[in-house]
Amino acid sequence: MKRLLGWMTVLLAGCAGMGRSCASCNAESFGADWVVVQMDLAGQPVRCWELRNVSITNEPHSDGIYWEGTGGNLVHISGFYNRVQVTGGQWDAAFREVGLTQAECRRIREAGRGDGGP
Protein backbone atom coordinates (compact mmCIF):
# COMPACT_ATOMS: atom_id res chain seq x y z
CA MET A 1 0.00 0.00 0.00
CA LYS A 2 2.81 2.43 0.86
CA ARG A 3 4.49 1.61 -2.43
CA LEU A 4 1.27 2.38 -4.34
CA LEU A 5 0.90 5.72 -2.55
CA GLY A 6 4.52 6.54 -3.34
CA TRP A 7 4.01 5.87 -7.06
CA MET A 8 0.79 7.89 -7.09
CA THR A 9 2.64 10.84 -5.52
CA VAL A 10 5.39 10.62 -8.14
CA LEU A 11 2.86 10.47 -10.96
CA LEU A 12 0.85 13.41 -9.66
CA ALA A 13 3.95 15.53 -9.16
CA GLY A 14 5.11 14.64 -12.66
CA CYS A 15 1.77 15.69 -14.13
CA ALA A 16 1.91 19.04 -12.35
CA GLY A 17 5.39 19.69 -13.72
CA MET A 18 4.32 18.57 -17.17
CA GLY A 19 1.38 20.97 -17.12
CA ARG A 20 3.74 23.85 -16.31
CA SER A 21 6.02 22.76 -19.12
CA CYS A 22 3.13 22.56 -21.60
CA ALA A 23 1.90 26.03 -20.60
CA SER A 24 5.39 27.44 -21.06
CA CYS A 25 5.78 25.76 -24.45
CA ASN A 26 2.39 27.06 -25.63
CA ALA A 27 3.19 30.60 -24.50
CA GLU A 28 6.52 30.47 -26.32
CA SER A 29 5.08 28.99 -29.50
CA PHE A 30 1.76 30.78 -29.80
CA GLY A 31 2.09 33.92 -27.71
CA ALA A 32 0.58 35.10 -24.46
CA ASP A 33 0.11 38.27 -22.43
CA TRP A 34 3.08 39.29 -20.28
CA VAL A 35 4.35 41.86 -17.83
CA VAL A 36 8.14 42.19 -18.11
CA VAL A 37 10.17 44.44 -15.80
CA GLN A 38 13.90 45.05 -16.04
CA MET A 39 15.66 46.33 -12.93
CA ASP A 40 18.91 48.14 -12.20
CA LEU A 41 21.53 46.78 -9.78
CA ALA A 42 19.65 48.31 -6.83
CA GLY A 43 16.47 46.41 -7.80
CA GLN A 44 14.62 49.49 -9.05
CA PRO A 45 12.54 49.12 -12.23
CA VAL A 46 14.11 50.87 -15.22
CA ARG A 47 12.09 49.38 -18.09
CA CYS A 48 8.60 47.94 -18.19
CA TRP A 49 6.59 46.22 -20.91
CA GLU A 50 2.93 45.25 -21.15
CA LEU A 51 3.02 42.65 -23.92
CA ARG A 52 -0.15 41.34 -25.50
CA ASN A 53 -0.21 38.11 -27.47
CA VAL A 54 3.58 37.97 -27.69
CA SER A 55 5.86 34.95 -27.76
CA ILE A 56 8.82 35.30 -25.38
CA THR A 57 11.75 32.97 -25.96
CA ASN A 58 14.59 32.08 -23.60
CA GLU A 59 17.97 32.85 -25.13
CA PRO A 60 20.00 29.62 -25.34
CA HIS A 61 23.00 29.44 -22.98
CA SER A 62 22.09 32.80 -21.46
CA ASP A 63 19.88 34.36 -18.81
CA GLY A 64 18.30 36.49 -21.52
CA ILE A 65 14.92 36.46 -23.20
CA TYR A 66 13.73 37.98 -26.46
CA TRP A 67 10.52 38.79 -28.30
CA GLU A 68 9.37 40.66 -31.38
CA GLY A 69 8.55 44.19 -30.34
CA THR A 70 6.88 47.16 -31.92
CA GLY A 71 7.47 47.42 -35.64
CA GLY A 72 9.06 43.99 -35.86
CA ASN A 73 12.21 44.85 -33.89
CA LEU A 74 13.69 42.01 -31.89
CA VAL A 75 13.88 43.02 -28.22
CA HIS A 76 16.49 41.17 -26.14
CA ILE A 77 17.03 41.69 -22.44
CA SER A 78 19.18 39.92 -19.89
CA GLY A 79 20.40 40.53 -16.38
CA PHE A 80 17.95 41.50 -13.68
CA TYR A 81 14.39 41.12 -14.88
CA ASN A 82 11.09 39.54 -13.91
CA ARG A 83 8.31 38.38 -16.17
CA VAL A 84 4.81 37.23 -15.36
CA GLN A 85 2.46 35.54 -17.77
CA VAL A 86 -0.98 37.16 -17.53
CA THR A 87 -3.80 34.64 -17.46
CA GLY A 88 -7.49 35.31 -17.77
CA GLY A 89 -6.96 39.04 -18.32
CA GLN A 90 -5.75 39.46 -14.71
CA TRP A 91 -3.34 42.31 -15.44
CA ASP A 92 -3.59 43.86 -11.96
CA ALA A 93 -2.60 40.57 -10.34
CA ALA A 94 0.33 40.19 -12.75
CA PHE A 95 1.59 43.70 -11.94
CA ARG A 96 1.33 42.94 -8.20
CA GLU A 97 3.60 39.91 -8.75
CA VAL A 98 6.40 42.27 -9.84
CA GLY A 99 5.62 44.91 -7.20
CA LEU A 100 4.15 47.48 -9.59
CA THR A 101 0.83 48.79 -10.76
CA GLN A 102 -0.12 49.23 -14.39
CA ALA A 103 0.11 53.01 -13.92
CA GLU A 104 3.66 52.72 -12.52
CA CYS A 105 4.69 50.55 -15.47
CA ARG A 106 3.31 53.13 -17.88
CA ARG A 107 5.13 55.96 -16.05
CA ILE A 108 8.41 54.05 -16.36
CA ARG A 109 7.74 53.51 -20.07
CA GLU A 110 6.71 57.12 -20.71
CA ALA A 111 9.89 58.33 -19.02
CA GLY A 112 11.69 56.83 -21.99
CA ARG A 113 13.03 53.78 -20.23
CA GLY A 114 11.02 51.16 -22.15
CA ASP A 115 9.17 50.90 -25.44
CA GLY A 116 6.14 49.10 -24.04
CA GLY A 117 6.05 46.43 -26.71
CA PRO A 118 3.31 46.04 -29.25
> Quick one: 13 and 56 in the same domain?
no
Asked if residue 28 has pLDDT above 60, the reply is no
> Quick one: 54 and 8 in the same domain?
no
The CA distances from residue 78 to 24, 51, 118, in Å, are: 19, 17, 19
pTM over 0.75: no
- Within a domain: 118: no
Q: What is the pLDDT of residue 11?
A: 47
> Quick one: 22 and 37 in the same domain?
no
Structurally, the chain folds into a number of domains equal to 2
> Quick one: 20 and 37 in the same domain?
no
Q: How far apart are CA 59 and CA 63, in angstroms?
A: 7
Asked if residue 39 has pLDDT above 90, the reply is yes
Q: What are phi and psi of 42, to 5 degrees?
A: -90, 0
> Quick one: 26 and 39 in the same domain?
no
Q: How confident is the model at residue 20 (pLDDT cuts 50, 70, 90)?
A: very low
Q: How far apart are CA 24 and CA 41, in angstroms?
A: 28
Asked if residue 79 has pLDDT above 80, the reply is yes
Domain of residue 9: give its range. 1-30
> Quick one: 47 and 13 in the same domain?
no
